Amino acid sequence: MSPFTVMPIQIFNWTSRPDPAFEINAAAAGFVLMVMVLSMNGIAIWLRYKMRKNIKW
């Protein structure tokens, strides 16, 4: 199993448990995952902009 699949599988496991506290954990983990993806995407867009600005065509 890839280490990149751990977070989504953990969220799935938390949502399938009967304790309501696990639903809160799953929501928080989903939010953290979305923030990480959006921030990494933003950094990639910023880096692409900076690198393209330095290249003279």
Residue 1 has a pLDDT of: 61
* pLDDT tens for each residue of 3-32: 767 888 888 888 888 888 888 888 998 999
- CA distance to 5, 8, 11, 15, 20, per residue, from 44 (Å): 21, 22, 26, 31, 37
Domain boundaries, position 45:
3-54
Q: How many domains does the chain have?
A: 1
CA distance 13 to 16: 5
* pLDDT tens for each residue of 26-54: 899 899 999 999 999 999 999 999 999 87
Token pair of 56 as six digits: 């003279």
Distance from chain centroid for Cα 37: 4
What pTM was computed for the model?
A: 0.69
